[in-house]
Structure formats: C-alpha cells, structure tokens
Structure 1
Amino acid sequence: MLDHAYLALSTIGIDIASIAVSGVIVALAYLVYGMTGFGSSIVAIPMLTQLIPLKTATPIMLILDLMAGLLVGIRNLKDVQIGELRKIGPWLCIGLVLGVTVLVSAPEKPLELILGVCLLVYSTWRIMSSGEFRALGAGWALPLGLGGGCLTAVFGTGGPVYTIYLAGRLRDADQRRATVSTLITATAVARLFLFSASGLYKNPVVLPLAGWLLPCGALGLAAGALLRSRVPAARVSTLLWAVLILAGANLIVRSSIGMLA
C-alpha cells in the first residue's frame, strides 16, 4: 500500500520522506482527537498541505475521520443528543453542498489562503479567550451549521464550529463529546457521497495514501484515549491553538507568494 502511495505521489513531486512525515502528522492529529473528541482535521490539514495538495489531503482525512467517528461515536451512543442534531443538521447539509462546489471548482492557492486566515483568526480568539463557551440559543444553528458545513466540505475543519454550537447548548462533557463525534461521523458519510459524486476519489493518490495513514491515525487515537484523563485539557487546548496560529500564518504567507508568482 505504501509503495502504491509513493508511486502515485512521485508523479506530483512528493517523496517518501513526505509520506512518512504525513504519518506522524496524522498520528498527532488523532492523539488530539482522542483527548478532546475533535480536532483531527483542523490539526492535520494545515500541516498536510505543506506536503500534499489540499484536494488530496481533504478526501484522505475524510476517510480517516469517518473511521475515527465510528469508533468513538458507537461507544457513546447513549450520550448523543438527537434534538440538537436535528436543529443544526439541515443547515449543515446546505453548507456541505456549497462547500463541495467550492472545493471542486476553486483554485488551490486561494483556498489555502482562506484556510490560513480562518485558522489564524479562530486560533487567536481561542487562545485569548477564557476557555468557556457561552450559552447559545437554538437560532445559532443556522449560521454555525452553514459555516461549519462549508468549512468541513472544503477543509475538513468544521469540528470547532460544531463545538461552539454544541458547547453552548450542552453542559455535560460526555454528551458534548459524543454528540460532536456523531456529527463528525454523519458529515463524513455525507461528504463521502458528495466527494465520490464530484470525482475527488478518482485521484489515484487518495486511497493508497489513506490506507497507509489509517494505522497511524489508529495509533494516535488509542494514545489520546489513554492520555485523556491524565493530561489537563486546558494544556492540550493551549498547545493546539498555538500550533495552529503558526500553521495558519505559514499558510497565508505560502499561498500569497504562490498567488503572486
């Protein structure tokens, strides 16, 4: 599987070292997911796009998120809050359709610039905030559902948006984690259909590389589950947002240079 991924990636200038580094990135991303219940794609995508194209990284992370969401969500079905899923679900579906349309049709560098700006703004806000989410009314399902759906389809990074909504609606941490994980799984299934219909999985790189990265993600997920009760969540979050500020700034610079070149 790794040989197939290497042969396919070599045609677009990606070497074996980059594939190995991608495995480390994915393991770290799912370590965060295992500890927090979200964050895999928002950690992995900005760093993976330093190595592979965005339109390759996004469908790969979709496969990995689908598997991780099934593992986490199935264990905690009793805590899933169906009522909140019904509120945000329709708006999220509309956002997914809009986002896939943008991903398929838009040039790569402007998308990377948008991702960098979103990461920089959101991560700076999170690291400067108190860490507590305010209570939100059900009306927030519309803007956060649309925005989260678009970000999920294009970048696979809608998890923090769902978390803002669900953290403002659910006070119980177990209910919040299970509902976020279920929402990630549901959006992954929807994106799998939309990505397949749009031809993103015709890319010969995607499936072989996803097969190589899958055990890396499983290892990180298991490590995160073990560390969840041993490492303070606040410390993990602060480190996460600091890393994403750097990743966002780097994406802005790199994509701006690419657009001007």
Structure 2
Amino acid sequence: MQEWLYPMGVVLLGYAVLGLTGFGSALVIVPLLAWQWPLPEVVAMTLLMDVPASAFHSGLNWRQVQWRELRRLLPGLLAGTLLGLWLMQHLQTRWPLLVLGLYVAGVGVNALRPATAHARHPAPLWAGPVGTAIGVVELIFGTAGPLVVAWLSRRLSDVQQVRASIPMIITVAASTVLVGMAWEGRLSSAVLWQRWAVLIGVALLGVWLGHRVAHRVPVPRLRQIICGLLVVSGLMLALRALQ
C-alpha cells in the first residue's frame, strides 16, 4: 500500500487542478510520476485517465459547455491527427515545442492584463487552423490543453464557460491520440491497465473536489488562476524543448 500513496497523491492533486481550471492534469502528473515509473507508461496512463476524467468534468458543467466551439474545431482536430502521424516520422519536435511554449506563455501573460473595451474575438474561420494545431500538438506532445485554453480564452468572455468547455475538447483530442497508440500496440501492457484501474477512482475524486472548490472562488480570481497556469505550462513546454 505504501508504494501507492505517492501515485495516488500525485493523481489526486493533478485532477483537482483539472477540476478547478479545466486543464493542467498532465502538467502535474507526468513530471511527478516519471520519477517512479517509465515516462512512456506515465504518458499513456495519463491520457487514459484524461478521457473519462475530462468527460466527467464536462458532465458536472454540462450547461456551460459551448458545444459549438467543439463542432468548429472538430474537422481541424481530425486533420491535425493525420498530419501529426506524418510529422512524427519527418519532423524534429524540439523547436516547434519551444515556439509553442513561448506562444502559450505569451497568451497567458496577455490575458492577465486588464481587459480593454475594444478587445476583439478571433473569427470562427480560424477554428480550422487552430483545431489542426491542437490535433498535431496532442498527438506529438500529449499536452494540447494550453493551446485549447489559449483559443477559448479569446473566443469566450465567460471564464466559467471556458473552464467547462476545455475538458470536452481535450477528451476528443486525447481519444484520437489513444486510437493511434492502440494501433501501435502501446496500450497492451497488463501493468498499465492495472495501474489505471487503481488510480482512475482517485482521478475522478480529484475532479469532483476541484469542481467544488471552483464554485467557491470569485470569477476574477479563477481567471487569474487559469491564466497563471497557462503561463507556467507554456514555460514548462519551452523548458522541455530546451532539455
């Protein structure tokens, strides 16, 4: 039992963050669990937990999920997944990851600034290229959450709608990646599924706890938390590229 206390604590913390902000579970779980288990197994297990946990989060916030944003992004997500499969064989991922990290951090810093009355939302036409980018990033890096937040935070003015809509988009993106992993045989390990069976209940509990806390946090403070996590996650992506 003692060897499970650390993984359970990490997963509870990671999914409490997801329940609070709508994303960020992998940013907590992957680096901390990689100290104990092999990184490829940690990434695969985190994605397997992300799908039901993110869907559960969306269920808790069903009325605030902006389904039209998912519909706009979906064609690009599918195209990005196919493009990512090709890029994995031909592209060195270090520099694109660095650029992505700096971009995400910049979006977070800009979002922390006081809103102006004439701020414009990007046109829905941009959903195609953005969806493609999300699909590529999720397939290659497994961390498309910050990019999803960067898009939704500019499309939606209601922070609770942003928080509710992020996990549903991540659910779809992560599902496409898992299909690719299953095709390559990376989900066939019995140990992987044993760990998932032990930890998935903890993950769902973390989402519920974070969800309860989120509704006690003032909206301006919640927006600051989400933007601050966006800055941290972008810098972490950039640091991973430099390493």
- The normalised TM-score by structure 2 is 0.77
Q: Does 1:168 align with 2:154?
A: yes
Letter in 2 for 1:154: I
CA distance in 1, matches of 2:153, 2:163: 9
CA distance in 2, matches of 1:114, 1:208: 36
Task: Identify which of 195, 202, 209 aligns with 1:209.
Answer: 195
Deviation at 1:91, TM superposition (A): 0.8
Deviation at 1:35, TM superposition (A): 0.8
Task: Identify which of 133, 136, 161 aligns with 2:122.
Answer: 136
Letter in 2 for 1:182: M
Q: How does 1:69-148 map to 2 (within 5 A)?
A: 69-100=54-85, 113=94, 117=98, 120-122=101-103, 124-126=105-107, 128-131=109-112, 135-148=121-134
Asked whether the 8 Å contact 2:153–2:162 carries over to 1, the reply is yes
Task: Identify which of 219, 225, 228 aligns with 1:236.
Answer: 225
Asked whether the 8 Å contact 1:92–1:149 carries over to 2, the reply is yes
Q: Does 1:185 align with 2:171?
A: yes
Q: Which residue of 2 aligns with 1:155?
A: 141
Deviation at 1:230, TM superposition (A): 3.4
Asked whether the 8 Å contact 1:195–1:201 carries over to 2, the reply is yes
Letter in 1 for 2:185: G
CA distance in 1, matches of 2:35, 2:104: 19
CA distance in 1, matches of 2:56, 2:95: 31
Q: Deviations over 1:142-162 (max 9, x none)?
A: 222111112212333112212
CA distance in 2, matches of 1:37, 1:240: 11
Asked whether the 8 Å contact 1:99–1:154 carries over to 2, the reply is yes
In the comparison of the two structures, how many residue pairs are matched?
A: 235
Secondary structure of 1:201's aligned partner? coil
Letter in 2 for 1:236: I
Range with greater deviation from structure 2 (198-207 or 172-181): 172-181
Q: Which residue of 2 aligns with 1:6?
A: none
Q: Which residue of 2 aligns with 1:8?
A: none
CA distance in 2, matches of 1:98, 1:54: 24
After the TM superposition, which parts of structure 1 deviate over 4 Å for at least 4 consecutive aligned residues?
100-103, 113-116, 245-250
CA distance in 1, matches of 2:215, 2:62: 20
What is the identity percentage for the equivalent residue pairs of Structure 1 and Structure 2?
A: 28
Residues 214 and 118 of structure 1, relative CA distance in 2, 3 Å threshold: farther
Letter in 2 for 1:24: G
CA distance in 2, matches of 1:177, 1:213: 24
CA RMSD of aligned residues (A): 3.4
CA distance in 2, matches of 1:61, 1:142: 27
Q: Which residue of 2 aligns with 1:37?
A: 22
CA distance in 2, matches of 1:29, 1:199: 26
Range with greater deviation from structure 2 (67-76 or 244-253): 244-253
CA distance in 1, matches of 2:38, 2:30: 10
Range with greater deviation from structure 2 (115-124 or 23-32): 115-124
Asked whether the 8 Å contact 2:99–2:238 carries over to 1, the reply is no
Deviation at 1:71, TM superposition (A): 1.2
Residues 42 and 152 of structure 1, relative CA distance in 2, 3 Å threshold: farther
CA distance in 1, matches of 2:204, 2:29: 14
Residues 115 and 29 of structure 1, relative CA distance in 2, 3 Å threshold: farther
Range with greater deviation from structure 2 (44-53 or 56-65): 44-53
Letter in 1 for 2:176: A
Asked whether the 8 Å contact 1:45–1:155 carries over to 2, the reply is no
CA distance in 1, matches of 2:95, 2:39: 12
Range with greater deviation from structure 2 (203-212 or 156-165): 203-212
Q: Deviations over 1:95-132 (max 9, x none)?
A: 123335666x699xx76x56973675245425532436
